[in-house]
Chain A
Amino acid sequence: MGRSWGATLTVNVLLPNGRPLGGVVVTVNPVSGPVHPAAPVQAVMDQVNRAFAPDLLVIPVDSTVAFPNSDSVSHQIYSFSPAKRFQLPLYRGKPYPPVVFDQPGVVTMGCNIHDEMLAYIVITDAAFFGRTSAAGSWSADVPGGGYRISIWHPRIRDDAKDLGGELTVGEQNGGTLTLRLTKQLKPAPLEGRPHSWDTY
């Protein structure tokens, strides 16, 4: 990106009770004209205390992700998601080359040794993308025009077809899309439970 445009596109995500939802993945593409995916990046998803850190990444298509493993124990990371299937033995002192994600989609990852480990990588071919703030809001400066917006979060239950919309962004006034979920979120992953539990 790097360029700046005058028009501001804002997306707000609200829970059914009207409270904001942070951390939601937002992807934005122009309704017409050529789509230019954002430039690939080199991202890192570490393994710390038998958990992925971070446990959700959004990256442009063709980006790479390194899995360094900062734990003193081994991990065996896998995905059987259609967007990227892989198996990664992460042993101590044996770094593995970063993985290239060349198909758009959502990749769900687990560890074959530690069942409670769960993380997501969203690979997008969108021109603009990001995640909502704690205030449930995300915005970007875009050229004026029509945009198709979609959102994703592992805890959202609403049907994917309801998770987005179209928006015309004026050069002067910008544009705001507010999406209110109709279904309650799935429960959050439990926090504070030691990750070494459930070996039986």
Chain B
Amino acid sequence: MLLTAATLVALTATLTARAAEWELDVDTRLVTVDGPPPIIAGGLGSVRFGGDESGLRLGRARFALSQNLGELFSLHLDASSWGDRDKTPVGLTEAYLQLRPYPYAGFRLRVKAGAFYAPVSLENRTSGWESPYTLSYSAIDSWLGQEVRTIGTEMQLDWLGRRSGHDFDLGATAGVFGWNDGAGAALADGGFTLTDRQTVLWGRVGKPGVPPVRAAEPFRELDGKAGAYGGLEARYLDRVVLRFLRYDNNANPSATDFVTHTIAWNTSFNSAGLRVEGGNGWTAIFQWLEGQTYIAPQGGEIQWPFRASYVLLAKRFGSHTLSARYDKFEVEGHSDGGSEDDGWQKGHAITLAYVFQPGARWRYTLEWLRVQSTSYNREEFEDGPPTASQTQVQLAIRCALGPLAQ
């Protein structure tokens, strides 16, 4: 008891002595949307909101904390509330400890341990894994935000060429993780979506009891086997970034939790991305991702290969940014026993956005998003036509406070 109190006093003293850096954001939305409800509400919609959700909504309430622990370590926590019905009203999207030694002889090592995003997205480059271009992320990054997270450790080795008189930097990343055996379930059952709703750690994607997604829980460990990823990155000055990453959660597709009747999803993908920024305010981003997820319940094996890509073009005029993005995505359905079309989904989307950010505190965004997709499950589970288009318009006002808000 005394020891606990002493520890708490010591911890408080440390925190006060070297004040933590923090950020508090509140993002409210005025939404008009048609089409089915989103997956989190039990529908098969393709965007963040849907059904009768037009009106005033909470985009995100977020609190982030960065604390240096001496010179070498830092702790990062990112908590969010999305104003919908997850298991808990507030959850962590990321929580990790970082080891960050100073570079040595042109090389730098960084090690993360905890829960965080693997380096795939080239649009989600601002704090909270948000995009400065659009409210809704691309199909690729929406899926990563929904189902893929590293809960484990990652090592990154960089050669800092620009600090040694060259024009290039090079980097290599390797990660080992657990608790991602559920990744792929929501993609196979619900298809790709375009949303900014990131699943919090140990949160769920769908609505309990409502097929086909039900309460998919991506952050589960079912087989005791670690997953891994490896990636490469090259940068030219501050203008061009090229990234590759291979991810494999290495799940045993027959591993089952008999209490919750959930099965492990073996999911792997390759991804590549290129971002080019010009001196005149233009940015172009291309990302591509292709992979598959499969399960092997007793006596069968069902596979869902998937692929998605997008091109984004943005032009910045001072504190104004105009962006346009075209997304293409497809989930194939294959099974050895059932229908060939089970889970099949194919579609494309256009996103147009205008962002006005006059300073660190306020950001205003107007976004128009139209998704056209054909989905076997829409016919199967919602008695609707398989092909549908959904349009969502959002006006967002975000207020950010704290020393990290910049």
Q: A residues within 8 Å of B by Cβ? A: 49-50, 72-74, 76, 78, 80-81, 87, 89, 91-92, 108, 110, 112-113, 116, 118, 186-200
Contact = CB atoms under 8 A, between A and B. Distances in A.
19 contacts: A49-B406, A72-B403, A73-B21, A73-B404, A76-B100, A80-B104, A87-B71, A89-B71, A108-B162, A108-B165, A112-B102, A186-B167, A187-B279, A190-B238, A193-B277, A196-B127, A196-B404, A200-B124, A200-B129
B164 interface: yes
B18 A190 contact: no
Contacts of A91: 18, 68
B325 to A, nearest CB: 17
Interface of B: 18-19, 21, 68, 71, 74, 100, 102-106, 108, 117, 119, 121, 124-127, 129, 132, 160, 162-165, 167, 237-239, 277, 279, 281, 316, 318, 357, 403-406
Nearest to B76: A199
Contacts of A195: 406
Nearest to A88: B102
Contacts of B357: 194
Contact of B281 (A89, A188, A192): A192
Contacts of B127: 196, 199
A184 B119 CA distance: 33
Given A196-B126, A198-B125, A80 B132 contact: no
B280 to A, nearest CB: 10
Given A80-B103, A188-B279, A194 B163 contact: no
Given A110-B160, A190-B279, A195-B406, A78 B126 contact: no
B9 to A, nearest CB: 22
Nearest to B317: A192
A49 B406 CA distance: 8
Q: Please classify the interface of chain A as helix (H, G, I), strand (E, B), loop, or mixed, using the class held by over half of its residues.
A: loop
> Which 7 A-B pairs rank lowest in CB-CB distance, beginning with the nearest?
A72-B403, A196-B406, A87-B102, A78-B102, A197-B125, A108-B163, A198-B125
Contact of B100 (A92, A108, A110, A113): A113
Given A89-B71, A91-B18, A76 B102 contact: yes
B274 to A, nearest CB: 15
Given A186-B237, A190-B238, A118 B132 contact: no
B69 to A, nearest CB: 12
Contact of B125 (A87, A110, A200): A200
A196 B132 CA distance: 11
A96 B163 CA distance: 23
A90 to B, nearest CB: 11
A71 to B, nearest CB: 8
B275 to A, nearest CB: 10
B23 to A, nearest CB: 10
B105 A80 contact: yes
B162 A118 contact: yes
Contacts of B167: 186
Nearest to A191: B279
Contacts of A193: 277, 316
Given A196-B127, A196-B406, 11 more contacts: A72-B21, A72-B403, A80-B163, A87-B102, A91-B18, A91-B68, A113-B100, A186-B237, A194-B132, A196-B404, A199-B125
A189 B163 CA distance: 14
A199 B100 CA distance: 14
Nearest to B122: A200
A69 to B, nearest CB: 12
A192 B129 CA distance: 20
Contacts of B71: 76, 87, 89
A188 B281 CA distance: 13
B103 A78 contact: yes
Contacts of B125: 197-200
Contacts of A200: 117, 119, 121, 124-125, 129
A152 to B, nearest CB: 11
Nearest to A91: B18
Contact of B103 (A110, A187, A190): A110
Nearest to A86: B102
B121 A112 contact: no
A78 to B, nearest CB: 5
A187 B239 contact: yes
B129 A187 contact: no
A163 to B, nearest CB: 14
A78 B239 CA distance: 22
